[in-house]
Amino acid sequence: MLFELRTYDLKPAKAPVYLDNFRRNGVGLVTASLPLAGYWMTESGRLNRIQHLWAYADFAERDRCRAKLARDQAWMTGFIPGAFVDVVAQQNRFLRLLHGNDVVKRVVADRLNVHANQPADMPMFADTLHALAIHHEELAATEQTIGLFEVVSGVDAGRYLTLSAGPADTLLAGANGAGDHEILRPLSLSPLR
């Protein structure tokens, strides 16, 4: 499996605006082409940052999926021009999964599901918190570990990324020794929540 973690930085106060538009108008379009694994907004670290994770069988599947999305006129000329006006920076990491809990296994099995756009009255965020941490050395998975990944390309190549779930106090304690650490709030539409 090839996981792709995309990071979008938005103008101040614009992340919730982008996310509301995405969940009501974009998720149905993008997941008709791309296999969504997770979608979050940061609560610590760089604010107005969105993290989203995609799960591909391999790089060839990613190429096919991205090409299909690029041909989708509703996405390219309908959603993108209005939504991306507030995006000021983007970065990308390719990840190799070293350990995934049962939730990750379920998300990978269901990764090709198309997700319906959400109605405006549905809550935007899940009732859980996650943490994303970058480490110089591979850590052992714990009870809180959702996924442990090796960064194979992009920012932090050669380092290890952990995605964890749990109460805020537990997630904050997990920042010890991390090069970078962000508390993430999953969207209610996120398969990993």
Q: Radius of gyration of the chain from Cα atoms?
A: 16
Mean pLDDT of the chain: 95
Query: Residue 111: which residues within 8 A CB-CB, separation 6 or more?
Result: 35, 36, 37, 55, 191
Secondary structure of residue 69 in the 3-state scheme = helix
Is residue 193 a part of any domain in this protein?
Answer: no
Q: Residue 175 — pLDDT band, cuts 50, 70, 90?
A: confident
Is residue 87 a part of any domain in this protein?
Answer: yes
Residue 8 phi/psi, 5-degree rounding, is -115, 130
Is residue 50 a part of any domain in this protein?
Answer: yes
The predicted pLDDT at position 174 comes to 72
pLDDT at 40 exceeding the cut of 80: yes
Residue 176 C-alpha from the chain's centroid: 22
Cα distances (angstroms) measured from residue 167 to each of 94, 163, 164, 180? 28, 13, 10, 19
pLDDT at 179 exceeding the cut of 90: no
pLDDT at 169 exceeding the cut of 90: no
Is residue 147 a part of any domain in this protein?
Answer: yes
pLDDT at 94 exceeding the cut of 80: yes
Is residue 191 a part of any domain in this protein?
Answer: no
In a 13 Å sphere around the CA of 173, the CA atoms on its Cβ side amount to 7
Which ranges of the chain would DSSP assign to H, the alpha helix?
15-21, 27-30, 59-70, 73, 80-83, 102-109, 168-173
Domains: count for the chain = 1
Residue type, 124: M
User: Mean pLDDT, to the nearest integer, of 180-184?
Assistant: 94
User: Mean pLDDT, to the nearest integer, of 110-136?
Assistant: 96
Q: Percent of the chain scored above 90 by pLDDT? A: 91
What CATH number has the domain bearing residue 65?
3.30.70.100
- Range of the structural domain that residue 89 is part of: 2-114+123-186
Identify the bridge partners of residue 30 per DSSP, sorted by sequence position.
none
Which position has the higher pLDDT, 87 or 170?
A: 87
Q: Residue 149 — pLDDT band, cuts 50, 70, 90?
A: very high
pLDDT at 135 exceeding the cut of 80: yes
Q: Are 174 and 140 in contact (CB under 8 A)?
A: no
Is residue 64 a part of any domain in this protein?
Answer: yes
Is residue 192 a part of any domain in this protein?
Answer: no
- What are the E-state strand segments in the chain? 2-10, 36-42, 49-56, 87-100, 130-135, 145-154, 160-165, 180-186
Is residue 9 a part of any domain in this protein?
Answer: yes
